Amino acid sequence: MVHQVLYRALVSTKWLAESVRTGKLGPGLRVLDASWYSPGTREARKEYLERHVPGASFFDIEECRDTASPYEMMLPSEAGFADYVGRLGISNDTHVVVYDGDSLGSFYAPRVWWMFRVFGHRTVSVLNGGFRNWLKEGHPVTSEPSRPEPAIFKATLDGSLLKTYEQVLDNLKSKRFQLVDARSPGRYLGTEPEPDAVGLDSGHIRGSLNMPFVNFLTEDGFEKSPEELRALFQAKKVDLTQPLIATCRKGVTACHVALAAYLCGKPDVAVYDGSWGEWFRRAPPETCVSQGKGGKA
């Protein structure tokens, strides 16, 4: 396991409320609303414009991605990320706090947390409990859009936190990395369909273990304690002293695995960005495992 001083991956609603109250938001502390919802359900930007944490900017994950890729949520380029977050007033000296409005407490925020880290930014945290608990605890909200002064951000890709299709394919033979899939059991097994997916059957990469990301969260929407998280990894026989790749459908809930491991003192979990969405369309059929009728194997 990598031994280093880890930046706090979580901040409390109380801490952020106090930071808002005392006027700490600015170039040194920026807050991002990273909400995203399936088309036809909720409208993230509309909800942001109606109410958000005072001073928060809207981080549009649909804009901050590789729009030329045939896959769903692939990382943008270094320059693309640097330009996007710079326009949100974020420099390399900014502490970034990310939240989303999902009813689970957290859904997309860990993806943005990981995006900052994969582009070399260490001082980034997820709001523990999310906007759900911010509202529940009665903290202030506003409809006033944030207009931060643009800043200069330099992005440097940390390849150790990112895995490609070719690297995961090679890993099937080398078995250097453990592979953990964060989707629900039904989608992992191939017995339930992938939501909102055209031409994408459910199933999983051969050799991957299933750790549904919802198991890392309490019923109230907070991250479980490091002790509870360690027990979850141990129950699945995932060795946190060994290399680990996280995957899911499009590289989003995989970041919950990376966050949970980070909270256990393991900061080096890599995310397979293309995840199942890319794997199903590119990989040899025998590497796709499914119990469903539509499965390739």
- The residues carrying an active-site annotation are 248
Do 53 and 47 meet the contact criterion of CB atoms below 8 Å apart? no
> Which distant-in-sequence residues (6+ apart) come within 8 Å of 293 by Cβ?
none
Phi, psi of 159 (to 5 degrees): -60, -20
Residue found by looking up tokens 């006027």 in the block:
23
Cα–Cα nearest to 200, from 278, 92, 124:
278
Residue with the two structure tokens 């643009």:
150
Residue 243: beta bridge partners?
none
Which two three-digit tokens encode residue 46?
């509309």
